[in-house]
Amino acid sequence: MQQFVNYKNSEIAYSVSGNGNALVLLHGFLETSTMWEPFVKQLSKTHKIITIDLLGHGNTACIGYIHTMEEMAETVFAVIKELRLRKIYIAGHSMGGYVALAFAEMFPDYVKGLCLINSTSRADSEERKRNRDRAIAAVKYNHKQFIRLAISNLFRPKNRKIFAKTIKEIKKEALTTSPQGIVAALEGMKIREDREVLLHFTPYKKMMIIGKRDPILNYEHLLEQTENSSVDVRIFSDGHMSHIEHKEDLLISLKDFIKN
């Protein structure tokens, strides 16, 4: 059952399951904390699992025209403080990874481990920023059509057929995201900072889950970020949605990530 913590006169929705060392799981763009439900049952057997609806997603409202990754990280910190947690493992899918990086930079003393799932430590390229602007224009024109196309494009073409039923469910949930929430997230991702340095000069455990055929992120560029680092790299054969396309492999990886 979701609980709420106040942040800037708005309520941040989160859920807690299990006991033990804490793992915070952050969803991606157009997703909600429910994406983690297939994993919580297993992971909560040994750990306290916290899932959060990020700004403008799920049951957490919008608080501005731009939701920066730093502001989203502050909402995560608000939940951490509410639960009186001292150290956490933090893992984020796609945009959730950007938020996890921002959290790790802003609150390093609270981080026990950092895991990026189909995400990147680098800032948007100029081309990517232009694509964000085009996406924002598309949302303002017809946000429902944007959502339907955006979700499908996260999967490899062959997997769009294999996971057709799941994709339909994801689209249905994504359609609950308001146009303002979508635009605010796109604006925030567009201006996020490069945080590749965190993969190289931080003392805690680090893991990256990489999809070899990710249609969103460049495979070679992701590997470059981990060169000469202590990052535990896990490479899956499919695309951007490892929690669906490689559910069992991701569960095993997350269990390894939170092992003492």
Buried b (16+ CB within 10 A) or exposed e, 233-249: ebebebbbbbbbbbeeb
- In this model, does residue 28 exceed pLDDT 80? yes
Could you read off the pLDDT of 144-183 as tens digits, one per residue?
A: 999 999 999 999 888 999 999 999 999 999 999 999 999 9
Domain count, the chain: 1
Instruction: Give the domain extent around 247.
Output: 3-257
Question: Angle at which helices 95-106 and 69-82 pack, to 10 degrees?
Answer: 70
At residue 15 the predicted structure's pLDDT band, cuts being 50, 70 and 90, is very high
Domain of 101, CATH number, reads 3.40.50.1820
Q: Which whole number is the average pLDDT over 116-134? A: 97
Could you read off the pLDDT of 91-115 as tens digits, one per residue?
A: 999 999 999 999 999 999 999 999 9
pLDDT score at 157: 87
Q: Which whole number is the average pLDDT over 189-205? A: 97
Which of 215, 212, 203, 218 is CA-nearest to residue 249?
212
- In this model, does residue 260 exceed pLDDT 80? no
- In this model, does residue 229 exceed pLDDT 90? yes
Q: Average per-residue pLDDT in the chain?
A: 97
Task: Give the 3-state secondary structure of the chain.
Answer: CCEEEEECCEEEEEEEECCCCEEEEECCCCCCHHHHHHHHHHHCCCCEEEEECCCCCCCCCCCCCCCCHHHHHHHHHHHHHHCCCCCEEEEEECHHHHHHHHHHHHCHHHEEEEEEECCCCCCCCHHHHHHHHHHHHHHHHHHHHHHHHHHHCCCCHHHHHHCHHHHHHHHHHHCCCCHHHHHHHHHHHHCCCCCCHHHHCCCCEEEEEEECCCCCCCHHHHHHHCCCCCCEEEEECCCCCHHHHCHHHHHHHHHHHCCC
Share of the chain above pLDDT 90, in %: 98
- In this model, does residue 213 exceed pLDDT 80? yes
